């Protein structure tokens, strides 16, 4: 494995050659996914850097934005069933 640690910016940053990166991309992606930074070099000069993406910002839902978007077809849908309706349902009528 041709990997050496660089101490210029961050202790967990790794530098690999372009050939190594091409042959081991899945492994390098796993490292980046865990939070490591990987620098890819060609002829001992850095040409690219793989870094984890910034944290995903989720939009905060605003109260009242669904107003008018829900249509209740039967307003009595939650009303309890009568004994006759239960018997009919159980018998499959």
9 belongs to a structural domain:
yes
Q: Per residue in 40-86, pLDDT tens?
A: 999 999 999 999 999 888 888 888 777 778 777 888 888 898 999 99
57 belongs to a structural domain:
no
CATH number at residue 32: 3.40.1620
Reported as half-sphere exposure (CB side, CA atoms, 13 A), residue 79 has a value of: 8
12 belongs to a structural domain:
yes
Q: How many domains does the chain have?
A: 1
41 belongs to a structural domain:
yes
The residue segments making up the domain with residue 29 are 3-50
87 belongs to a structural domain:
no
Q: Per residue in 5-43, pLDDT tens?
A: 443 334 446 899 999 999 999 999 999 999 999 999 999
75 belongs to a structural domain:
no
8 A C-beta contact, residue 20 and residue 27: no
């Amino acid at each position: 494995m041709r990997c050496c640690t660089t101490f210029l910016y961050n202790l967990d940053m790794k530098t690999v050659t372009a050939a190594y990166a091409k042959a081991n991309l899945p492994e390098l992606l796993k490292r980046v996914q865990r939070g490591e930074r990987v620098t890819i070099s060609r002829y001992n000069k850095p040409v690219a850097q793989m870094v984890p993406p910034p944290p995903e910002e989720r939009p905060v839902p605003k109260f009242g934005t669904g107003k008018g978007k829900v249509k209740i077809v039967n307003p009595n849908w939650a009303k309890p069933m009568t004994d006759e309706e239960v018997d009919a349902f159980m018998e499959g009528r």
